[in-house]
Amino acid sequence: MRFTILIPARLASTRLPDKPLADIAGLPMVVRVARRVATCNADEGAMRVVVACDSERIRVACAAHGVEAVLTRQDHLSGSDRLAEACNILGLADDHMVVNVQGDEPLIEPALPHAVAAALQAHPGASMGTAAHPIASLDDYLSPHVVKVVLDAQQNALYFSRAPIPYTRDHLDAAWWNQRNGAATGQLPTPLRHIGIYAYRAGFLRLFPQLAPAPLERLEALEQLRALWHGHRIVVHFTTQPPGAGVDTPQDLERVRQMLGH
């Protein structure tokens, strides 16, 4: 299986200026992300890691550390648009698989991109692949900041929501949650947290920005609902490993620096 990891990197950030270049233990954050996912390349040459950036400063920083990068336009409205342009710059065939890894995830599980790509390859009827893990606490289950996903019998996503899904009609309290956690496998559904990593075939990635935004996408502020709205399947890789801490704010950055011994 051959695939390309694309890491979108945009210099402008309202909460953390110059975020891709933030120093973490001696490396720019986007470089650290690229190096981390590159460590899981069991089949030499099967995986390529490329940063899709909007600034020459990011491209130069990547080149200084041996990370491949392509310069894309600054006026893209979404990361999907940026990745679609990167596919064209790289000349990727429509059936080539691409995995979108966010450039602010320096603690990402290195094996996760490969697992998500493998799930997509194993489901030719799916247009996208992503990942999810079991929700560990009732607070996370109820939080609108934690995106949930429910699946069908073939591990395809039925829906993504910030609301607590699947919703238990008769009970929703700590006692129910503890009962659910103690139940035998299969008796009660396990609420799943969506992990924001995506696999595509390059042809669909080129198509995706051209699809009309979906009403549900606007309502939930979840771009992946656009694919479901237009009838595309999203296969979900199940992992027991929760995602590492992302970096959105100066406080997040300081926490990750401490974790990595900065």
Domain definitions of the chain by residue range: 3-130+194-259
For the domain bounded by 3-130+194-259, which CATH number is listed? 3.90.550.10
The reply to whether the predicted model has a pTM over 0.85 is yes
pLDDT in tens, the chain (262 residues): 899 999 999 887 777 889 999 999 999 999 999 999 998 765 666 789 999 999 999 999 999 999 999 999 988 878 888 999 999 999 999 999 999 999 999 999 999 999 999 999 999 999 999 999 999 888 899 999 999 999 999 999 999 999 999 887 766 666 666 666 544 444 556 899 999 999 999 999 999 999 999 999 999 999 999 999 999 999 999 999 888 888 989 999 999 999 887 5
Q: Which long-range contacts (CB under 8 A, 24 or more apart) does 119-122 make?
A: 119/155, 119/199, 119/235, 119/236, 119/237, 120/199, 120/200, 120/201, 120/235, 121/1, 121/97, 122/235
Of the candidates 15, 35, 16, which has an alpha carbon nearest to the alpha carbon of residue 25? 35
Two structure tokens written together for 51: 């940063």
Number of CB atoms found within 10 A of residue 146's CB: 16
Q: Annotate 153-197 with DSSP letters as a single string.
A: TTSBEEEEESS-SSPPSS--SHHHHHHHHHSPTTTSPPPEEEEEE
